[in-house]
A and B are shown apart, each in its own frame.
Chain A
Amino acid sequence: MQLQTMAAEKLSQAAPPADAAIAIDDVTLRFVTPDGHMMTAIRDFTMTVARGEFACVVGPTGCGKSTTLNLVTGLLRPTTGNVRVMSNPVTEISRDIGFVFQADALFPWRSVIDNVAAGPLYRGTPKAQAYDRARDWIARVGLARFEKHYPHQLSGGMRKRVALAQTFINQPKILLMDEPFSALDMQTRTAMQDELLGLWSELKSSVVFVTHDLEEAVALADKVYVLTAGPGTVKSVYRIDLPRPRVMADIRYDQKFIEIAKVIWNDLREEVQLGQSRGLQTGH
C-alpha cells in the first residue's frame, strides 16, 4: 500500500457504526421535477462522520454535494435508505445542527449583534443572556467594534465572520457547511479557514464541509469524500493524516500536502471531465 505512506489512505466503505455523529446509510434520493420527470439526485450513498471528525465532500458541479447536507438537516427525505444524526433517525431539524450557507444568509435588517443573537432568541433564551453570549461570540470572531453595524456596511469576509458567530453561538454538535468561503478572495479565504479550524477545535463539532476546491478540502479535513458525476455516489474516501493544528497559509507549500492533493486530484479529474462533457451535451 503505497498510498498509506503518503498520508492519504484510501478507505473501504463499511456499514456505519452505531455511535457515529452522522450516518447516511445506502441512501438514494429521487424527486419529481416540475415538468413531471423523475430525477435521481444521489444514489447508493453511504457516509459516516465520527464525533469530532472533520469531513469534506468534493465532486464535480451538480453531483449532489449540497443534497447530502440537506439530508442531514431533514429538509430533504431519502427515497430509500436511512439517515441518522447522533444515533437518532432524522425526523425534523435537529437542535444540534448548525449550517453555514454559500450565499449571504444574514438578515440585512438586523445589526451584527441582533444577527448573532437570533439563534438563542429563536430558541427561547432570555434576551439579556442571549445578547451577552452574542457579544462574547462577536468578540471571538474579532468584530467587537462592529456590533452595531448592519451587514451592508461590512466586507464579504466580515459578513462571513458574522455568519460563523451566528452559527457557533448555538454550539452545534453537527456543523454543516455548503461552500461557505467560495465567494471570498484568496487571502480572506485563508484567514477564514484558520478561523474555522480554531473555532472547531474549541467546540469539537462533527463537520461536513462541501466544497469544489480540492486543496481547501485536503487542508481542512480528516476525511475527504470524492463523489462521482451526477447522479452522485461516493467514488472513494481518503483519510488525511496531516498533523494538527494546521496553518492554512503554510500548508499549501507542505510536500506531503501536495502529494495527497495530487493523488486525490487524479481520482477526481475523470469525474470533473465527465460532468463537464455531460453539462455541454444537456446545455446546463
Chain B
Amino acid sequence: MTVISPTTDQAAARATSIVAAEARARARLRRRHALVIGLRLAILIVFLALWELGADYGVIDPFFFSSPSGIWEQIWSWVTEGTSQGPLWLQMYVTLEETFLGFAIGAIGGIAAGIILGRNKLLADVFSIYIKIANSVPRVVLGSVFIIALGLGMASKVALAVVMVFFVVFANAFQGVREADRAMIANAQILGASPYQITTTVIIPSAMSWILASLHVSFGFALVGAVVGEFLGAKQGMGLLISTAQGAFNANGVFAAMIILAVMALVVEFLITRFENYVVKWRPAPFNEQGT
C-alpha cells in the first residue's frame, strides 16, 4: 500500500485567485440585481406611457378606460378636496376597520375551530359534512342577507368579511393540525407532556406555517368582503366610493379607488410577511432568495 499525498506548493497563489473570483461573482450578482430592478421600472413606464398616449390619440377611449393622468387628477382631488362622501382618509379608514375586524374575528374563529376539530376525531367526523355544505354556499350572496339582517352600518360588512376569512383559515388550521408529525407527538408524550402541553407546544407550532399561509390569502378575502358589503349598501367606505363613481359613469373614480385599495392591500401584505418572518424565524431560509 502506497500513500499518495497531494503537493502543497502554490497554495498562496491559489488563495489570491479565490479572493478575486469571489469579488467578480459578487459584482456579477449586483449587476444582475440592478438589471432586474431596471427592467421592472422600464415595463411600468412603457405601460403607463402607452396607456396615456393611447388615450391622447384616441386609440383607447378615456371615457371607459380612463387614463393615468385622469386617475392621478382624481386621486389628487380626493386627497385635497375630499370625496362626495367626506374626506378620503375617512373612507379608507372605514374600509380598513371593517376589513381588520372581519379578518381578526374570522381568523381567530377559524384557527380555534381548526385546532379543536383537528384534535378531536369524533367532532371532525360529525361536523365535516356541515362545513362542506356551508363552504359551498357562494359567500358573496350572504352579503345581501347580512345587509337585510344587520343594516347599512359596519356590522354587515364585518360579518361578510368574517365568513370570507373563516373557511380558508379553518381549512388550513385543520390540515396543519392533522399533518403534525406523529414521531414528534410521541416524543413529547414520552418526554412527559400532558395532552394540553402537546396541543400548545407541538400541535400549534407545527400548524403555524399552514395557518400563516392562509392569513396571506384570507386578508385579501376580508378586503373583498368589506368592499362588496359596501357595494351592496353602505353610508361610508371605498366600496361606496366605487359604486358612486360607477353610477356617475366616472371611470377615473373607479380606477382611482381600485388603485387605492390595491396599495392598502400591498401595505398590509407587507406587514403580514414581516410578522410571519418574526414568528417562524426557526424555519430554514428559502432556497431561492433572489429577486426581492
Question: What are 5 A-B residue pairs whose CB atoms fall within 8 Å in the complex?
Answer: A99-B186, A111-B282, A119-B192, A122-B191, A123-B192
Does A103 sit at the interface, judged by CB under 8 A? yes
Least CB distance from A36 to B in Å reads 18
Contact with B along A248-270 (1 / 0, CB 8 A): 00000000000000000000000
By a CB distance below 8 angstroms, the chain B residues around A93 are 189-190
Within residues 103 to 132 of chain A, which ones have a CB less than 8 A from any CB in chain B?
A: 103-111, 118-119, 122-123
By a CB distance below 8 angstroms, the chain B residues around A99 are 186-187, 190
By a CB distance below 8 angstroms, the chain A residues around B186 are 75, 99, 101, 105
**Pair B181/A105 contact, Cβ less than 8 Å:** yes
Least CB distance from A14 to B in Å reads 30
By a CB distance below 8 angstroms, the chain B residues around A170 are 191-192
Expressed in whole angstroms, the Cα–Cα distance for A118 and B202 within the complex equals 11
By a CB distance below 8 angstroms, the chain A residues around B193 are 118, 122
Q: In the complex, how many residues of chain A place their beta carbon closer than 8 angstroms to a beta carbon of chain B?
A: 28
- The prevalent SS among residues of B at the interface is helix
Expressed in whole angstroms, the Cα–Cα distance for A153 and B283 within the complex equals 10
Least CB distance from A243 to B in Å reads 30
By a CB distance below 8 angstroms, the chain B residues around A275 are none
Expressed in whole angstroms, the Cα–Cα distance for A215 and B225 within the complex equals 65
Contact with B along A81-104 (1 / 0, CB 8 A): 000000000000101011101111
Does B150 sit at the interface, judged by CB under 8 A? no
Contact with A along B166-203 (1 / 0, CB 8 A): 00000000000000010110111111111001000110
* Shortest 8 CB-CB contacts between residues of A and residues of B: A105-B187, A122-B192, A119-B191, A123-B192, A105-B183, A152-B284, A109-B282, A122-B193
Does B41 sit at the interface, judged by CB under 8 A? no
Select which of B192, B201, B282 is within 8 A of A150 by beta carbon. B282
Does B280 sit at the interface, judged by CB under 8 A? yes
**Pair B191/A73 contact, Cβ less than 8 Å:** no
Least CB distance from B200 to A in Å reads 11
Chain B residue at minimum C-beta to C-beta distance from A104: B183
Q: 6 extra interchain contacts, Cβ-Cβ under 8 A, other than A93-B190, A107-B188, A123-B191?
A: A105-B187, A107-B202, A107-B205, A118-B191, A150-B282, A152-B284
Least CB distance from B102 to A in Å reads 29
Chain A residue at minimum C-beta to C-beta distance from B197: A122
**Pair B192/A107 contact, Cβ less than 8 Å:** no
| Interchain pairs with CB closer than 8 A, number | 63
Least CB distance from B283 to A in Å reads 7
Does A166 sit at the interface, judged by CB under 8 A? yes
By a CB distance below 8 angstroms, the chain B residues around A95 are 192
By a CB distance below 8 angstroms, the chain A residues around B191 are 118-119, 122-123, 166-167, 170
**Pair A118/B190 contact, Cβ less than 8 Å:** no
Select which of B184, B205, B282 is within 8 A of A152 by beta carbon. B282
By a CB distance below 8 angstroms, the chain B residues around A108 are 282-283
Expressed in whole angstroms, the Cα–Cα distance for A73 and B116 within the complex equals 27
Expressed in whole angstroms, the Cα–Cα distance for A167 and B186 within the complex equals 13
Expressed in whole angstroms, the Cα–Cα distance for A104 and B206 within the complex equals 14
Least CB distance from A73 to B in Å reads 6
Contact with B along A161-193 (1 / 0, CB 8 A): 000001100100000000000000000000000
Expressed in whole angstroms, the Cα–Cα distance for A221 and B136 within the complex equals 60
Expressed in whole angstroms, the Cα–Cα distance for A73 and B192 within the complex equals 12
Within residues 42 to 78 of chain B, which ones have a CB less than 8 A from any CB in chain A?
A: none
**Pair B282/A110 contact, Cβ less than 8 Å:** yes
**Pair A152/B192 contact, Cβ less than 8 Å:** no
By a CB distance below 8 angstroms, the chain B residues around A167 are 191
Least CB distance from B182 to A in Å reads 9
Expressed in whole angstroms, the Cα–Cα distance for A111 and B186 within the complex equals 19
Chain A residue at minimum C-beta to C-beta distance from B208: A109
Expressed in whole angstroms, the Cα–Cα distance for A101 and B189 within the complex equals 13
Select which of B183, B189, B205 is within 8 A of A109 by beta carbon. B205
Select which of B181, B190, B284 is within 8 A of A97 by beta carbon. B190
Within residues 189 to 227 of chain B, which ones have a CB less than 8 A from any CB in chain A?
A: 189-194, 197, 201-202, 205-206, 208
**Pair B205/A98 contact, Cβ less than 8 Å:** no
Chain B residue at minimum C-beta to C-beta distance from A102: B183
Least CB distance from B99 to A in Å reads 29
By a CB distance below 8 angstroms, the chain B residues around A122 are 188, 191-194, 197, 201
By a CB distance below 8 angstroms, the chain A residues around B284 are 152-153
**Pair B190/A107 contact, Cβ less than 8 Å:** no
**Pair B183/A107 contact, Cβ less than 8 Å:** no
Expressed in whole angstroms, the Cα–Cα distance for A95 and B191 within the complex equals 8
Expressed in whole angstroms, the Cα–Cα distance for A152 and B197 within the complex equals 23
Chain A residue at minimum C-beta to C-beta distance from B285: A152
**Pair B282/A101 contact, Cβ less than 8 Å:** no
Expressed in whole angstroms, the Cα–Cα distance for A150 and B283 within the complex equals 8
